């Protein structure tokens, strides 16, 4: 018989899933299948998917059926995002995906314990609910959203805590991009360990 924990990890609330291009960070421009899990209590005021916050509003899907949907596409990468995906145990989902040959990526605030097996971890810490210390050395990519100038100092705090090989990105908050992007460009020129991340999916009008 399946344990209760395993049963729960085989059913996950899904807001949406779709095949598109990764729009941000290190893997920008690559084809990827996105699975957006519902549920989040981090509460970013500028979140562009607030409809994902309430998990009760979205149906639960079995991990095997999600794998079947991905297999209908030529996808090689599957990105698990949210919401905050680590609110759930992702062991079964990533086991299913990796057994089918997919590379597994996650986008997380790091506010919950890490579960699942990952080929790439994008950590995007938020001031509203700090990441757990244990996820910091595991991050392959640190992506900090810049909403105001003080966020640059906050970004440096986390850059000092991730591994030396972690890729570092500054990304303007979409609605303030016209103000923040020039500031970020100047900052990166003065601090070239950082790179610029832009939400290209919004510029090219894909999901």
Class of domain 4-203: alpha beta
pTM score, two decimals?
Answer: 0.92
E strand intervals along the chain? 11-21, 31-37, 60-62, 77-81, 103-108, 120-123, 141-146, 167-172, 194-196
- Give the C-alpha separation, 63 to 171, whole Å: 31
- Give the C-alpha separation, 37 to 17, whole Å: 9
Domain spans of the chain?
Answer: 4-203
Question: Residue 23 in contact with residue 202, Cβ under 8 Å?
Answer: yes
For tokens 């994902």, the residue is: 52
Q: 83-123, pLDDT tens digit by residue?
A: 899 999 999 999 999 999 999 999 999 999 999 999 999 99
Q: 18-63, pLDDT tens digit by residue?
A: 999 999 999 999 999 999 999 988 877 767 777 778 888 889 999 9
């Amino acid at each position: 018989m399946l344990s209760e924990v395993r049963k729960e990890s085989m059913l996950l609330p899904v807001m949406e899933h779709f095949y598109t291009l990764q729009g941000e960070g290190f893997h920008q421009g690559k084809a990827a299948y996105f699975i957006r899990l519902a549920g989040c209590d981090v509460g970013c005021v500028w979140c562009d998917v607030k409809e994902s916050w309430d998990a009760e509003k979205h149906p639960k899907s079995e991990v095997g059926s999600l794998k079947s949907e991905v297999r209908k596409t030529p996808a090689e990468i599957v990105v698990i995002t949210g919401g905050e995906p680590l609110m759930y145990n992702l062991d079964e989902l990533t086991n299913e995906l990796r057994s089918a040959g997919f590379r597994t990526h996650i986008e997380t605030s790091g506010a919950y314990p890490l579960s699942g097996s990952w080929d790439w971890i994008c950590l995007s810490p938020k001031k509203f609910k700090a990441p757990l210390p244990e996820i910091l050395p595991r991050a392959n990519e640190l992506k900090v959203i810049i909403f105001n100038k003080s966020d640059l100092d906050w970004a440096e705090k986390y850059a000092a805590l991730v591994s030396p090989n972690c890729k570092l990105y500054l990304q303007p908050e979409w609605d303030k991009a016209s103000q923040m992007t020039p500031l970020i460009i100047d900052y990166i020129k003065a601090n070239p360990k950082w790179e610029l991340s832009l939400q290209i999916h919004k510029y090219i009008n894909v999901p």
